[in-house]
Every structure is written in structure tokens, then in C-alpha cells.
Structure 1
Amino acid sequence: MTTAEKTTQAPTGPILRLTDLGVTFTTETGDVPAVRGVRLDIAPGETLALVGESGSGKSTVALAAMGLLPGNARATGSAAVGGRELIGTPEAELAGLRGRAASMVFQEPATALDPLTRIGAQIAEVIRNHRTLPAREAAREAVELLRRVGIPDPEQRATAFPFQLSGGQRQRVVIAMAIANSPSLLIADEPTTALDVTVQAEILDLLRSLAADAGTGVLLVTHNMGVVADFADRVAVMLEGEIVETGTVEEVLLRPRHAYTKRLLGAVPRLAVAEPGAAPAGAGETPPAGDEVVGLREVSVRFGRGPRAVQALSDVTLTVHAGETVGLVGESGSGKSTAARVALGLVQPSAGSVSLFGTDLRRSRGRARRALLAGVGVVLQDPVASLDARMSVAECVAEPLYVHRGRMTSAERRARVEDVLERVRLPRALANRAPRELSGGQRQRVSLARALVLEPRLLVADEPTSALDVSVQAAVLEVVSELQDEFGFACLFVSHDLAVVQHFAQRVVVMRAGRVEERGSTATTLLHPGTDYTRRLVAAVPVPDPVLQRRRRAARQEAPAAGRTAAGE
């Protein structure tokens, strides 16, 4: 789409101007102020990152800038997009501005896409909502937008349903919908949180080029300081509804002034990068001394039959020993989560063997298998999906005790639940609350308490911190480390965050297309990768230093693209 096709004339002043913005929510217990006195400007082609912990008000600011505040919210002050005031504007007029003057890219594309409608039709609908075009012409524009955002075979993908695309491709589709009518302002709310590092790098490159080509202003809401360093021009830091610091990305990330900003940056896990020409360290390390807790040997997994069958794992060998943490990393679709499910006995391998605590898991049945699996705790990425919303926190944590420790008295169960909640640093006062009444970090600690209530010998953690703020993430990982030191359990840690893996795991296994690409000590493998694929993974990780990140991005973009997968996959 050319500049001449834009439906509105580009504003000469700020794309977004917030002046003394305040937002108050009316609740059953009274009015709750969420945002106070926020002042922000975003110029054409500029990216402003809005950062802060959960509950700081940054997402509320983003919703106010789109006129999407819920019915129980009362906004004061001014929020203007392209000179057009949003506060007090009737909903019918706001609907005409959304997608045209301003668009939004959400964290989870699955919530923004209709699972029953083909991709091309969804993009065409966005186009026709704001422009009078024949259906055939809108469909052609939808295909061109898919091509513009880097979707391979756009004609074919336009006929696909969302579930037939990878996570990175779905996020590109959401971006295509957001830019369909050439908005002046693009609001991106955690647009890369659930993506692996290589897809994240591609999405950031895409957003960067779109902002440069069309002069689009971008409001980036994120807790990933590496993404901020890679993408933002300026940064605003929010704390308890107020902006406590603003400045260029270099000023805020390299020379922070406010104590809260310093504390926030201090919690960021930083990927250590080897100096050019440095010799590999840690070569020849001895294997773990503890007993083997779980072992996969030449395991293959094949889903389906016939020509449509998918080979998820091929000859994967993986071991985890008592007291150690093994990081399992790789791009989406690499097979790392499937390998974790095999270790949990949730997926039966089509070939190879699986041992758990020295016992062949495939041969165990009934009560014996149940006793084996009682020694395994699981922490998932989304605690909301793993905690029963109808139960209290105490009931959620106690449930495994009912299943595996049926002879315990109610007093013994209550004492055990209180003890494990205390160990994960949750106040006893939260025990009777529902999971929905807790913050994201608190819910993840409840999941951890539930996983540890049986004192397992193995903890399997599948992306347990990817959706958490950096300070909450650091606190959760600190709790896991302390409990691991105390109980000596093994941990299989599945993650796409290489910086977290580098700080948390002793060994790392890199997976690609269902196979083990590389393995070794974390220090050796991530500092001095032995394969091009691992080097590409490490190079794609943004670091929270804008000067260093610019050099890393330039080096990554100049590197040969051999071995890269299709865009977004």
C-alpha cells in the first residue's frame, strides 16, 4: 500500500499526546485509581517503550490511547491521537478511528483471531470496515499484506485457519491486520512475549521497518528490557500509575536516575556474551555426580499415520541427574515440549526407552506407575490453565495430597499446605483466596507450591517465567533455586529465554526439528556455540544495552541466512 492510499493526512504534530491522563476504576469496594497525571508524546516514526511491573498501569494507558477502557473506568485529562481527542468521544466515532488512526497488536494472537474464519477473510474484513472496496479487491490487498509482513506463500496462507499457522506466523497476521489501513499510531502490548528468540527478532525487525517506511508512531508496552534496547527510541517507566522516569533508551537503560528503574534493571537476567577470539571455557567438565532421575534414550515420537504423519522427535537422548537443572532450548516446533511430555509419561514414544527414577516408564502400570509419577512436579507457563478457578489457593495446593496421600489427616494436609506456601514466600492470608484474586507472580508461586507439595524428586518447568515481569521472574527463580538446594530435586527447565537458562541451568540441550542439535555445559554451549544453529539462537537474544544491542543486531543481519527456517516458523 502506497502513502498516497492512506485515508487520512499524516499529522504534523505528535501522533499520540497524553496530557494529565488519569484513569479510575469503580469497584465493589470503591474507586481505585490506576493511572495518575500521565504525560506522553510520540512523534511520527518514533517508538516509545512503556515499562513497569504488573499493576503499574502501563496496559491501562495503552487501552486509554485506543479508547478501549472498560465500562467501569473513568478517564480524565486528555488522550489525543493525530490531534483527535478520545476522552469523551462517542463510541461510534471511536470505532471509526480504531484500525484507521490507531491500531493495536496484542500479546496473544489467538485472542485476536477468529479460529473459525480463514486468515485472508479476517484481514479483508478489517479493510472493508474502514474503506469501501469490492470483496475481491480487499482479498487481493489481504494477500499483499501477508506478503508485506513476511508470510511465505501468502496466497495459500490466506486460505488457512489460525490453528494451521505457527505462533510467529499468527503474530505476523495480527500485525498485517493492524497496518491494513495505514494507521498513524501502532500500539504493541507485549507483542513478542510468547515467541522464541529468533521469531522475536524477526517480528521486531518487521515492526522497525514498518515504522521507518510509513512514519508510524509506536507505543511499545513490554517487560522485556532486551526488546526495549533493541527497538525503542525513548523509554517511560511507570510505577503505581505514575511515570517516574523518561528519557532516551540510552539514558534510561544505561544511566537510570530513579531507584525503581535501577531496581527493575537489576532484576534483568543478562546473557553473557563471549569476547571475540576468547577460548571456550569449561571444556572437559565431568558429568553430573548425582543419580540419574530421568533418561530418554534414542526416543522418537511420531504423531498420526500415513503421509500426514508428523515426526516430532527423532533419536533424542537426554538425561537429568539429582540436584541439577538441565535447560531444554530451541525454536517453536523444535520438539522441546514434546520431550518434556515424554519424560512425564504424557506422550508414548514410538521408539526408544524412557526411565524415571531407574524404572522403565513404558513397562510400569497401574499403582506402580502412579507411585512413580507422584515423584514428579510440573510447573506450566500459564498458571491460570493449571489452577482450578473454583478452588481456593489452599485447595489447589492440597489436591495432589488427596490423590497421592489419601491417608493423611485433614490436619496433616493443612500443615503441609501452610508449610509449602511459606516456602514459596506466599503469606498465609492468601490461602483462602481464589487464584483470580492473585497477581501473575503469586499465581505462579501457587503452581510451584502445588508442584512441590509432594516433595518430588523431579521438577519439570515448561516456560514457567516467560509471562512474568523481570522482578517477579527473578523472585520466582530465586525461590526455585533455594528449594532445589534444600530438597535436592532435579529440574528439567524448558524455555526460549536463553538468558534465564544461562543463569539457572548447569547443562543445556539445544533442540532443532525434533533432534538434539548440541549439548554441553551451559557456560560452554551458550558462550561458545559449536553449531551455526546455536550461534543463531544466541545472536537473536536482545540484551538490555542499546549500544551493544545495535552492534549485535547489525552482526546478526549481516550474517549468512543459511539454515534459517521459513519466516515466522
Structure 2
Amino acid sequence: MLSVENLTLRSAQGPVLRGVSLTARAGETLAVVGASGSGKTTLALAVLGHLRPGITLGGGRVRVAGHDTLPEPHPQLRGRTVAYLGQDAGSTLNPYRRLARTLSTASGTRGEHPVAALLHRVGLPAALAGRRPAELSGGQQQRAALAAALARDPRLLVLDEPTSALDPAARDEVRAELARVRAAGVGLLWITHDLSSIDGLADRIVVLDDGRIVEDAPAERVLTAPASRAAAALVTAASAAAGRPPRESGGTPLLHVEGLTARRGTRQVLHNVGLTVHPGRCLAVTGASGSGKTTLARCLAGLHPPAAGTVLLDGRPLPGRAHKRRTADRAAVQLVPQSPAETLHPAQTVHDALRRPLRVLRGMRDAQEIDEEIERLLALVRLPAGLARRLPGRLSGGQRQRVALARALAAGPRVLLCDEMTSALDSVTQESVLGLVRQLCEEQSLGVLVITHDPRVVRRIADDEVALTDGELARRPRVPAGQAR
């Protein structure tokens, strides 16, 4: 079904893929894993016959169902033979279209029943058909994009991190649907950094490291006895206990929220929410997709005006809209969004993205000082200085997420709001970034609020936990590492 022979892809900085060769039989599930920047997404796009700007074919070939995909794919290839679900699923949905129209177009049919059936396949209620993407949570957007990918029953489904933005319940639903797709004989090329997402579903695992295949073996062997250093690092990071003993709360509240209520259109999504973030402590906000977690983070950052309630910083009320806040207050509360596209302009280099908060929020003017600070920020999030001149489109999903974190840190915040900030990161990089945020929290008395659906993130970084259910907040006991919830 799929054959990749000695594929070499290059960018101006050098090879991105180096002589990659692999095959996948009809109906087989092949997982491609590796650290951020290893070439996973570039390989997935090549299977579809797409090369990102700046990427050129250096040699080799890719064939799907007997047809070459490079340099140009067969006209009937996409959609019917092979379909794709991208890493940032929300960006694949037209922001001005309701889901019903998007899914009708994807399936080539009209009527309410086909749309409802597609939504049901990915665990979404038919009532969402009338909504636009902005009215959905990140997890709901990802499932809607998956429904569009399945619309024409492709023979090969290319999945780039299909479960990364989903809460545990939704993740299980999508995995169950993909298991049914697999059982029906559809091949899956599954790009992921989350080894747990492919456990029990992948037949084989290919491990990429710096554009090369360093391991290709049955899934069970890679997960239990990895032969390569890159695979061993992923397995070790994924299985780490990643927990800390709870710490006692103390100190004057840094950020305090009272009676926060918020709406999206006529729908109320937050109801009388109250919480407190202390300096040097991390508060995790958990909940299912659509429970209001992202809306809460945007309200605190001044990007979504609340209908009622108060947000206090050092005991002072903050205006509901960011542009009405003082410069120092805007700098003090920074958001790392779930999708880096909300922070990074596609036509601005990483250098430009980091320079703006340094100038606007921290008042830096000296060019050399700015360059040195940008280099320090990139090093802080484990990125090489050479990435500063790249556009976001030439970065991996994990690299873009780390740049978004660096941009938030450039403001010199006192409160960091992290909305699923590690959902696009491989397990090794996730552990590194969470460790960094925890270190900043403790050493710089940074107050951190983490929005997450991943209990592993809670165990790794949080001092306290609250759960959102249908817009209402309930405190949960902090569970020490190694104990079940």
C-alpha cells in the first residue's frame, strides 16, 4: 500500500530526511515516532505529495497504491485513496463555516444524516453540526477534523498526532474509532510522540532521529525492549513516574478570581468560577473537552471578556480586555496557547516574534541586547539559536510550541497560563519543558496555571488541582505519584 524508497528531503539548513525507506501493507498500522524536529511531519506530508515551503526533493520516491506522490500526486489520490489529519487540526477547519457544511463538502453528500453519522463516529453530538470552529474546544475541533478525514472512507489514513489535544475520555473514543477503521482494513500511518496513544493499535513502529530511521520493528518489541538510543529515551520519558510530593500552600495570592462567568454567544460556558494562584506554586485545571478550560485561560489573559466576576492581580482588579490593562499588567499575565498559530504570525521569523514582547512589554531598545536575550530565551526552551531566522512554517509542531513558550517568557511574566502547552511535544521534550516550567515556578516565584487533560502532566508539575465540569469548578485532592485516582 505504501512504499518509501531512499527518500531524501532538504531545506536551506541541510537534510530534513536522510535516505528514509519503509513499507506498509494494506490494512497495516505503522507508527512513526521520534523527538520534535526529527522529520515525522515532513514524512507524513511527503506521503500526500506535499512539500512545505523551503523543502526540496533530494532523491528517492514515495508510492501509495502504486502511484508516485512526488513531485506531484495522482489527481485521485487525496481524499479517496489517502486522507490526512494534521497536527493542528483546528487550522484545517474553515473558521467561517459551520461543521455541517464542512462535513457535507468533505463527504460529497448533502443532508443531516450523513453529517450526524460522521460526528457520531468521532464521539461528537449531532447538535454541534450548527457550530463554527471558534465555538468548539480544541479537542472538539480535532475530532471534527478527524470526521472530515474519514468522510470518503480512504484506504490509507495519515494521522499526525490525532489524540494530542483530547481529554482522556475523548482520546479513548477516537482510539476506539481508529481501531474500528483499522479492523475494516484501512491502513494507518500514525505520526506521534505519545507512545501510549499507539499501544495496542500499532503493528510496527519506525523510530526517526535527525531525519534517519534508527529502528524499525514490531510495536511490542520497541515498547518493551527498544534497541536504539532514541527509542529508549522516548520509552523512558513516557514511563517516568513524573510525580512530586505535595507542598504546603502559603504566601499572599498572586492571582485571585471571584465569581467569573463567561459566555460564547448566547451559551454560558463558565459559571461563578473562583480560584487562586500563589507565587511559586502550580495550579492544574482539568476537565473534558468543551468544559470551558480554554475560555477560562483566555478570560484571565484578557482575551475573552467575562460576563461577570473579577480577576485580581496583587489584590487589584484587572480590566476584562487586555488592551485596557496597564503595560506592566499585560506583561505580568502571559498565555501559552494550545495552538502556536494563535501566537506566531506565519510571515514573521522566530526572532521577530520574540523581539516584539521584549520591546513592547519590557521596553528593550538596544539591538545587541535584544539579540542576546532572544538567544537566552531559545536556550531556555532547549532550542538552537539558529532557529531564530526561521518562519513558523519551517519548524516542527513541537518547536513551534517551545517558541510560543519562549515568547510568553520574553515578557517577564509573574503568572504563566499554559493551555495544553505540551500536547504537541514528544515525551522527552515534554518532560524537559515541564521541568523547566516547574524550575521557573520554584526559583522565580512564578505563579503557574496549567490547563490540561493529561493526568501525567498533573502528577509531574501541579501542587493543586481543580476540575471544570460544564463550566463549574470543583477542587480535587492532590494525588501523590504512583497512586491511582
TM over 0.5: yes
Task: Please state whether the residue corresponding to 1:523 is helix, strand or coil.
Answer: coil
Which of 115, 136, 152 is residue 125 of structure 2 equivalent to?
Answer: 152
Structure 2 Cα separation of the partners of residues 331 and 501 of structure 1: 14
1:294 aligns with 2:279: no
What is the correspondence of 1:66-145 to structure 2 with a 5 Å cutoff?
66-69=48-51, 73-74=56-57, 79-82=62-65, 84-86=66-68, 91=73, 94-115=74-95, 119-120=99-100, 122-128=102-108, 144-145=117-118
Q: Is the 8 A contact 1:78 1:85 kept in 2?
A: no
- Secondary structure class of the residue paired with 1:292: coil
Q: Which whole-Å deviations, capped at 9, do the CAs of 1:85-105 have from their partners, x for residues lacking one?
A: 4357975xx222433333333
TM-fit CA distance, 1:237: 1.3
Residue 208 of structure 1 deviates from its aligned partner by: 0.7
Residue pairs, 1:92-241, within 5 angstroms: 94-115=74-95, 119-120=99-100, 122-128=102-108, 144-153=117-126, 167-168=138-139, 170-212=141-183, 214-241=184-211
Contact 1:105–1:187, Cα closer than 8 Å, also in 2 = yes
C-alpha change, 1:158 and 1:366, in structure 2 (3 Å) is: closer
How many angstroms does 1:254 deviate by?
Answer: 1.1
Kept after mapping to 2: 8 A contact 1:343/1:356? no
Match of 2:47? Answer: 65
Deviations 1:6-36 (A, max 9, x none): xxxxxxxxxx2425341434x5x59746241
User: Given that residues 296 and 352 in structure 1 are in contact (C-alpha distance below 8 angstroms), is that contact kept between their aligned partners in structure 2?
Assistant: yes
Q: Look up the match of 1:560.
A: none
**Which of 484, 509, 519 is the matching residue for 2:441?**
484
Q: How far apart are 1:252 and its partner, in Å?
A: 0.8
SS state at 1:465 partner: coil
Amino acid corresponding to residue 251 of structure 2 in structure 1: G
Matched, 1:463 2:420: yes
Q: Does 1:472 pair with 2:457?
A: no
| 1:432–1:18 CA distance, 2 compared to 1 (3 A) | closer
State the shift of 1:335 in Å. Answer: 2.0
* Deviation digits for residues 59-103 of structure 1 (CA, Å, limit 9, x no counterpart): 343334344456964486564444x24357975xx2224333333
Describe the SS at the equivalent of 2:238: coil
Q: Is the Cα contact below 8 Å between 1:236 and 1:247 reproduced in 2?
A: yes
Q: Secondary structure at the match of 2:408?
A: helix
Change (3 A) 1:405 1:243: closer
- Are the structure 2 counterparts of residues 57 and 421 from structure 1 closer, same or farther at C-alpha, using a change threshold of 3 Å? closer
Contact 2:297 2:335 in 1 (8 A): no
- 1:441 deviates by 4.6
Deviation digits for residues 372-402 of structure 1 (CA, Å, limit 9, x no counterpart): 4433333233344324556554554343343
Give the Cα–Cα distance (whole angstroms) in 2 for the partners of residues 149 and 363 of structure 1. Answer: 35
In the aligned structure 2, how far is the partner of 1:422 from the partner of 1:272?
23
Deviates more, 1:441-450 or 1:363-372: 363-372
Cα pair distance change 1:218/1:431, threshold 3 Å: closer
Q: Which amino acid aligns with 1:303?
A: R
Partner of residue 221, structure 2: 251
Matched residue SS, 2:480: helix
For 1:292, give the aligned amino acid.
P
Task: Please state how far the C-alpha of 1:364 moved relative to its aligned partner.
Answer: 12
Contact 2:291 2:471 in 1 (8 A): yes
Of 3, 7, 15, the residue aligned with 1:22 is 7
User: Is the Cα contact below 8 Å between 1:461 and 1:491 reproduced in 2?
Assistant: yes
Task: Say if 1:368 and 1:76 are closer, same or farther in 2 by CA, change over 3 A.
Answer: closer
- The number of equivalent residue pairs is 484
- SS of the equivalent of 1:333 reads coil
The alpha carbon displacement at 1:261 in A equals 0.7
Say which is worse superposed, 309-318 or 394-403, in terms of deviation: 394-403
Partner of 1:542: none
Could you say which residue in structure 2 is the equivalent of 1:551?
Answer: none
Equivalent residue number for residue 42 of structure 1: 25
Unaligned runs of 5+ in 1: 1-15, 129-134, 274-280, 530-569
Cα contact 2:95–2:132 (8 A) shared by 1 = yes
SS at match of 2:437: helix
In 2, the alpha carbon distance for the partners of 1:70 and 1:265 equals 30
Residues 49 and 343 of structure 1: CA distance in aligned 2, closer, same or farther (over 3 Å): same
Closer, same or farther in 2 for the Cα pair 1:78/1:337, shift >3 Å?
closer
CA spacing shift, 1:81–1:393, aligned 2, 3 Å: closer
Percent identity reads 36
CA distance, structure 2, for counterparts of residue 437 and residue 107 of structure 1? 14
| TM-aligned CA distance change 1:31 to 1:392, over 3 Å | closer
Aligned partner letter, 1:200? R
Paired residue secondary structure (1:99): coil
The match for 2:468 is 511
Deviation at residue 175 of structure 1 after TM alignment: 4.0
**Amino acid corresponding to residue 175 of structure 2 in structure 1:** L
> 1:256 offset after TM fit, Å?
0.9
Deviations 1:201-238 (A, max 9, x none): 111111112222x2222221111111011432322212
After TM superposition, the structure 1 stretch with the greater mean CA deviation from structure 2, 215-224 or 422-431, is 422-431
Distance, in Å, in 1 between the alignment partners of 2:194 and 2:435 is: 19
Deviations along 1:500-546, one digit per CA (max 9) or x if unpaired, are 2210111111111111133232438x9454xxxxxxxxxxxxxxxxx
Question: C-alpha separation between the residues in 1 aligned to 2:325 and 2:142?
Answer: 44
Distance 1:141 1:365 in 2: 42
The residue number in structure 2 matching 1:341 is 298
Q: Structure 1 residues 328 and 75, CA, compared in 2 at 3 Å: closer, same or farther?
A: same
- Residues 42 and 48 in structure 1, CA contact (< 8 A), matched pair in contact too: no
Q: In the alignment, what sits opposite 1:565?
A: none
Counterparts of 1:357-372 in structure 2 under 5 Å?
357-361=314-318, 369-372=326-329
Alignment deviations for residues 428-464 of structure 1 (CA, whole Å, 9 cap, x no partner): 5555665556555554444434433454322222222
Question: Is contact 1:50–1:237 with CA below 8 Å preserved after alignment?
Answer: yes
CA contact (8 A) 2:16 2:210 kept: no
The SS at the match of 2:178 is: helix
What is the Cα-based RMSD across aligned positions, in Å? 3.9
**8 Å contact 2:140–2:289 — kept in the other structure?**
no
Q: SS of 1:300's equivalent?
A: strand
